[in-house]
């Protein structure tokens, strides 16, 4: 009986501290302690890092701690997470911190100790090991710590040090790479770092805030090499509207082209923009970039942008308010990534009208196969009034993708703050937030499972549909399909694919080489694109024909054939016997098998002579082939000039 009791207690304990719940009033408790501030970010395999300030007694006030939830919602670092740094002197308030991850799912955290305005950077892996030391890296006095993990394993760390930006490169173990800290200044005054973007050659682009007054700033961009040296003659001004230096703005990349989404204020109003920054520092869309909405009636507030690899578009969402900012709504816009042309009219598309319902996005914008996906908050956010959280998916036209519009995530009647949504991985996304469920301000999480739509199917590149003269060893190429993670190619001698020549799956690229059987026939091929959940669908069917050439000796044993003159100059005659009235095709190839001349002729029963113009061919050896679809005659000849 005692063993049974222990088993029951163990079972209850495990289930109290683990697993997602479907009850959106309850949600999943992330840590047992109270917290007033936190950030969350997802890993590539669907786990969730939660960095938080644990509220403790004065004079310490806060402890910086870390929790990791696995894909099932289990706490990986105990009931209270693990301590990231115990050397941070904290006042009764916290400053903006930054979190990001690298390709190995290592977590980087940049924070400021508000007790003495000291700044620190931390690097931790999913096992909870502190990779930059137990106390992180002390950066000295500073705010707005921004971190850019690099493909090399190093990381750029930038921070505001009084009137200028300081930056340093650190290796994987946290050792400084540059001999001295690099500074970033502008001639017009104090600067602070914003978004950082790595380029393909190891350079990086930094968004720079130039202080105006108070928290007002003007945004610039500069490109730096891997030694921290500026590459453009001067920083490029992105906007002539006012931004805010201590606000996080939204950025994304398409290869080395950077897109920057921001809210700017001018003439006592707020507008949303998308700016494109070319790798050479030019702004093809001009100062400010493209306006989210050309109307200047309502205020366009918080802007979030996102780009799906391979897409032609950059998506943006924006909170709208009436001019006195008493009611809110949500709009969406879609920009052509090359021209900046607005796709959803010049006035964007309304998702939710401005009203007292106050429905606005509450997270970054993510794209599920080029469809907008984000967290939606309903209710006036005054720190006391109850708010609810839902997730929302739009289709390619900016309309609701689900019949019910949204799906609930957090429905307990309380105000919610520090709202985050992780990117969807393996059909799951996680919302993380702080609220008081009558037990103090605590961190909760809620997972969402979505059945991902099929990726767009690949389109043909080569061999071209219906082509002939395809070599036996052929490279098959198809266009990348949005959302595809792997491909499957089949080649067959029939369009039902029952006689397969090749059947290969788990192809990671959009190109594959195959050697075909040594005989001429028509082949059929198709490609299947599969997404992360294995959902897939075959492309259309394409066909091509291989052509083989037999030698002259073999031909003469089958049929009388005469080619003259040989060598030839401008014309060549081919004499042969036909067994019936028919149409034949005569093809002339070079030594690589490329067709140079094609001629179709009607021939009669008996002896026939066909004259071919070869005057444009260069001197050399050529091959010919005569076929009526049933029998082929072939050989070679020489051209002398």
Span 467-515, pLDDT tens digits = 777 777 888 988 888 778 889 999 998 888 988 989 998 898 888 988 8
Query: H/E element holding 340?
Result: none
Mean pLDDT of 570-576: 83
Question: Residue 67: is its pLDDT beyond 80?
Answer: yes
- Both ends of the chain: CA-CA distance in Å? 104
CB atoms near residue 36 (< 10 Å): 17
Tell whether 627 is covered by a domain.
Answer: yes
Please count the CA atoms within 13 angstroms of the CA of 336 that sit on its side-chain side: 10
Mean pLDDT of 87-109: 94
Question: Residue 101: is its pLDDT beyond 80?
Answer: yes
Q: Spell out the residues 6+ positions from residue 122 whose beta carbon is closer than 8 angstroms to its own.
A: 84, 85, 107, 108, 109, 110, 111, 130, 132, 136, 137
Please indicate, yes or no, whether residues 565 and 541 belong to a single structural domain of this protein. Answer: no
CATH code (residue 571) = 2.60.40.3080
Question: Residue 92: is its pLDDT beyond 50?
Answer: yes
Only one residue has tokens 């081919």, namely 574
Q: Which residues of 231-243 are buried (b: 16+ CB within 10 A; e: fewer)?
A: eeeebbbbbebbb
Record the tokens describing residue 599, joined without a space.
């001629």
Q: Check if the beta carbon of residue 435 is closer than 8 Å to that of residue 443.
A: no
CB-based burial label for 386 (10 Å; 0-12, 13-18, 19+):
middle
Question: Residue 18: is its pLDDT beyond 60?
Answer: no
Mean pLDDT of 211-232: 94
Percent of the chain with pLDDT over 70: 91
Tell whether 416 is covered by a domain.
Answer: no
Tell whether 75 is covered by a domain.
Answer: no
Record the tokens describing residue 186, joined without a space.
């502008």
Confidence category of residue 638, pLDDT binned at 50, 70, 90: confident
Question: Residue 570: is its pLDDT beyond 90?
Answer: no
Tell whether 518 is covered by a domain.
Answer: yes
Per-residue pLDDT at 463: 86
Please indicate, yes or no, whether residues 566 and 629 belong to a single structural domain of this protein. Answer: yes
Which range is least confidently modeled, 408-412, 428-432, 629-633?
629-633
In 3D space, the residue among 382, 442, 448 whose CA is nearest the CA of residue 412 turns out to be 442
Please indicate, yes or no, whether residues 532 and 573 belong to a single structural domain of this protein. Answer: no
Please indicate, yes or no, whether residues 612 and 540 belong to a single structural domain of this protein. Answer: no
Please indicate, yes or no, whether residues 526 and 586 belong to a single structural domain of this protein. Answer: no
Please indicate, yes or no, whether residues 566 and 613 belong to a single structural domain of this protein. Answer: yes
Mean pLDDT of 209-220: 92
Confidence category of residue 592, pLDDT binned at 50, 70, 90: low
Which range is least confidently modeled, 83-87, 191-195, 437-441?
83-87
Please indicate, yes or no, whether residues 541 and 557 belong to a single structural domain of this protein. Answer: no
Confidence category of residue 595, pLDDT binned at 50, 70, 90: low
Query: H/E element holding 2?
Result: helix 2-16
Tell whether 469 is covered by a domain.
Answer: yes
Confidence category of residue 530, pLDDT binned at 50, 70, 90: confident
Domain endpoint, select from 545, 564, 593: 545
Arithmetic mean of pLDDT over the chain? 88
Domain endpoint, select from 530, 545, 560: 545
Mean pLDDT of 527-550: 77
Confidence category of residue 14, pLDDT binned at 50, 70, 90: very low
Percent of the chain with pLDDT over 90: 62
| Domain total of the chain | 2
Please indicate, yes or no, whether residues 628 and 579 belong to a single structural domain of this protein. Answer: yes
CATH code (residue 498) = 2.60.40.10
Tell whether 68 is covered by a domain.
Answer: no
pLDDT tens digit sequence for 239-249? 999 999 989 99
Mean pLDDT of 524-534: 83
Please indicate, yes or no, whether residues 578 and 618 belong to a single structural domain of this protein. Answer: yes
CB-based burial label for 595 (10 Å; 0-12, 13-18, 19+):
middle
Query: H/E element holding 578?
Result: strand 571-578
Per-residue pLDDT at 390: 98
Tell whether 529 is covered by a domain.
Answer: yes
Confidence category of residue 618, pLDDT binned at 50, 70, 90: confident
Per-residue pLDDT at 187: 80
Confidence category of residue 615, pLDDT binned at 50, 70, 90: confident
Per-residue pLDDT at 630: 54
Please indicate, yes or no, whether residues 497 and 566 belong to a single structural domain of this protein. Answer: no
Q: Is the dihedral of CA 578, 579, 580, 586 positive or negative?
A: negative
Question: Residue 236: is its pLDDT beyond 70?
Answer: yes
Mean pLDDT of 308-316: 90
Highest-scoring range by mean pLDDT, 82-86, 140-144, 255-259, 483-487 = 255-259
Domain that holds residue 629: 552-639
Tell whether 27 is covered by a domain.
Answer: no
Confidence category of residue 3, pLDDT binned at 50, 70, 90: very low
Domain endpoint, select from 545, 567, 600: 545
């Amino acid at each position: 009986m005692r063993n049974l009791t222990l088993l029951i207690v163990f079972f209850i304990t495990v289930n109290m501290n683990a697993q997602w719940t479907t009850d959106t009033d309850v949600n999943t408790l992330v840590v047992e302690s109270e917290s007033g501030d936190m950030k969350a970010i997802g890993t590539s395999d669907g786990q969730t890092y939660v960095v938080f300030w644990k509220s403790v007694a004065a004079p310490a006030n806060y402890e910086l701690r870390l929790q990791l939830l696995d894909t099932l919602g289990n706490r990986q670092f105990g009931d209270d997470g693990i301590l990231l740094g115990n050397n941070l002197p904290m006042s009764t308030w916290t400053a903006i911190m930054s979190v990001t991850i690298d390709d190995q799912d290592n977590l980087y955290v940049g924070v400021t100790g508000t007790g003495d305005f000291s700044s620190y950077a931390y690097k931790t892996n999913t096992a909870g090991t502190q990779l930059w030391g137990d106390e992180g890296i002390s950066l000295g006095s500073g705010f707005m710590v921004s971190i850019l993990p690099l493909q090399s394993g190093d990381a750029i760390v930038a921070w505001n040090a009084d009137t200028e930006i300081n930056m340093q490169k650190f290796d994987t173990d946290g050792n400084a790479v540059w001999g001295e800290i690099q500074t970033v200044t502008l001639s017009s005054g104090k600067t602070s770092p914003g978004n950082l973007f790595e380029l393909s050659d190891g350079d990086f682009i930094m968004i720079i805030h130039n202080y105006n007054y108070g928290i007002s700033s003007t945004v610039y961009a500069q490109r730096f090499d891997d030694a921290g040296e500026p590459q453009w003659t001067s920083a490029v001004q992105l906007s002539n509207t006012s931004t805010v230096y201590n606000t996080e703005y939204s950025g994304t990349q398409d290869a080395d082209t950077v897109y920057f989404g921001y809210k700017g204020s001018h003439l006592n109003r707020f507008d949303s923009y998308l700016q494109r920054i070319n790798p050479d520092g030019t702004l093809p869309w001009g100062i400010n970039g493209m306006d989210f909405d050309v109307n200047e009636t309502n205020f366009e507030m918080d802007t979030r942008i996102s780009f799906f690899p391979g897409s032609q578009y950059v998506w943006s969402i924006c909170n709208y308010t009436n001019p006195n900012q008493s009611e809110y709504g949500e709009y969406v816009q879609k920009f052509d990534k090359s021209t900046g042309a607005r796709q959803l009219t010049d006035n964007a598309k309304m998702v939710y009208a401005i009203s007292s319902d106050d429905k606005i996005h509450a997270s970054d914008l993510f794209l599920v196969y080029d469809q907008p996906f984000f967290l939606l908050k309903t209710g006036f956010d005054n720190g006391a009034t109850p708010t609810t959280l839902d997730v929302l998916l739009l289709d390619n036209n900016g309309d609701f993708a689900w019949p019910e519009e949204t799906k609930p995530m957090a429905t307990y009647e309380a105000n919610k703050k520090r709202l985050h949504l992780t990117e969807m991985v393996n059909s799951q996304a996680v919302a993380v937030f702080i609220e008081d469920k009558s037990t103090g301000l605590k961190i909760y999480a809620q997972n969402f499972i979505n059945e991902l739509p099929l990726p767009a199917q690949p389109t043909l590149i080569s061999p071209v549909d219906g082509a002939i003269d395809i070599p036996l060893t052929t490279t098959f190429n198809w266009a990348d399909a949005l959302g595809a993670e792997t491909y499957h190619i089949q080649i067959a001698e029939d369009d039902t694919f029952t006689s397969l020549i090749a059947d290969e799956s788990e192809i990671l690229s959009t190109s594959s080489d195959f050697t075909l059987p040594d005989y001429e026939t028509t082949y059929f091929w198709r490609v299947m694109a599969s997404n992360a959940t294995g959902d897939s669908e075959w492309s259309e069917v394409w066909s091509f024909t291989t052509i083989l050439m037999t030698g002259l000796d073999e031909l003469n044993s089958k049929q009388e054939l005469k080619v003259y003159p040989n060598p030839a100059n401008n014309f060549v005659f081919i004499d042969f016997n036909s067994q019936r009235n028919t149409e034949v095709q005569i093809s002339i190839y070079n030594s690589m098998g490329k067709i140079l001349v094609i001629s179709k002729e009607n021939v009669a029963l008996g002896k026939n002579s066909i004259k071919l113009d070869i005057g444009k061919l260069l001197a050399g050896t050529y091959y010919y082939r005569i076929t009526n679809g049933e029998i082929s005659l072939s050989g070679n000849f020489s051209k002398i000039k």
